[in-house]
Amino acid sequence: MHEDEAQELFENANVDGSSNPYGTLEISDQHVEDSSLVEGSVLSVVPTEFLPEGALLKTISINDEDNGTTVIVTEPATLTDIVEDSDGYQLPTPELVSFDLIPEPGVTITEPTATYFNDGVVKGIYEEAFELEDNVDGVVVKVAGNIGVNAELGYEISWSKLKGFGATVTPFIESDVRIGAGVEVSTDWNKTLAQVQFVHAFTVGPVPVYMTTEGALELELLVGVGGEFSYNPNLKVSHEAGLKYSDGSFSGINEPDMKVDGLGDITLEASAEAKVQIVPSLNTKLYDLVSIYAEVAGWVKLDATFTPTEATCTASAGVT
């Protein structure tokens, strides 16, 4: 059954905006006939305001009523209800259905300006961009960034049994950060830049299934300087997170990555300590079947000491 037919069935059965698609639903006989609904049909419902994760339903009974309606009973479906034999491991092409970057006060949404590369290979397309300019306790903070996401779903089914499965989501972020001060200052500051929401669709057999993700993008800043100071690193952070099933057992996937340009792009005339972190924290769901939580902090850190006889400066970067 196509997603628009399933959506229409669900809306007509839940005119009050109910968020529970499972159990007993009442729909018109005409809808049953138009959608060729039979026992065992799998219905795919696209994510909505009332059903933010969407739903994958299996019809387990259909009964005609005397008033021109039909009562159907549904339960949660799985991939093996859709496909009996996948003919090997399948990797359906993901479709990015929606991507929403909802800015917090002080943050501006802009047009993305770059393509995500890793080791010279295009890995994805930045979908949204953001800017922030603020003065925090005397520290001037400017951030301009791009954000995108990749998702992957794979499965192998034989004789209606799941033999292999994998699901991953990979957010990737590029941020050009400028911090500076002209006098002695100290601050410890956290800022939520934006809320993130996106939906991917994968066609499994004849049915679209939906992977939904939501979360936040955070900026964390720790600065203590004794005088004039400026720092301008460029951070590229990605994090592949998910799980896979093989040989009867599940295992997690957790692969953060970070690259930094301008690590030594520093101007200072006094002792300084500074640390900047970009932190995406996201929760991904494939209905009630899979839940993936991913959080990674890409950071750069600067330590500089001035004495009457010498100056030392150390810059470092990493992911945690």
- Tell me what the pLDDT averaged over the chain comes to: 85
Interacting residues of 39 by C-beta distance below 8 A, sequence separation 6+:
59, 60, 61, 62
> For residue 163, what pLDDT is reported?
94
pLDDT digits (tens, 9 = 90+) for 268-306: 777 788 888 999 999 999 988 889 888 888 888 878 786
Distance CA 209, CA 286 (A): 8
> For residue 4, what pLDDT is reported?
52
> For residue 19, what pLDDT is reported?
61
Domain with CATH 2.40.10 in the chain: 3-77
CA dihedral 281, 256, 133, 197 (to 10 degrees): -40
Interacting residues of 87 by C-beta distance below 8 A, sequence separation 6+:
none
- Give the chain's residues under pLDDT 50: 1-2, 15-17
pLDDT digits (tens, 9 = 90+) for 152-165: 999 999 999 999 99
Q: 5: helix, coil or strand?
A: helix
> For residue 116, what pLDDT is reported?
66
> For residue 318, what pLDDT is reported?
85
- Token pair listed for 106: 């002080």
> For residue 10, what pLDDT is reported?
62
- Token pair listed for 210: 């939906």
> For residue 15, what pLDDT is reported?
41
The burial of 253, by beta-carbon neighbours within 10 Å (0-12 exposed, 13-18 middle, 19 or more buried), is given as: middle
Tell how strand 128-136 and strand 139-158 pair up. antiparallel
Question: Model-level pTM?
Answer: 0.86
Domain 3-77 classification at class level:
mainly beta
Per DSSP, the residues of 14-33 read -TT--S--SEEEEEEHHHHH
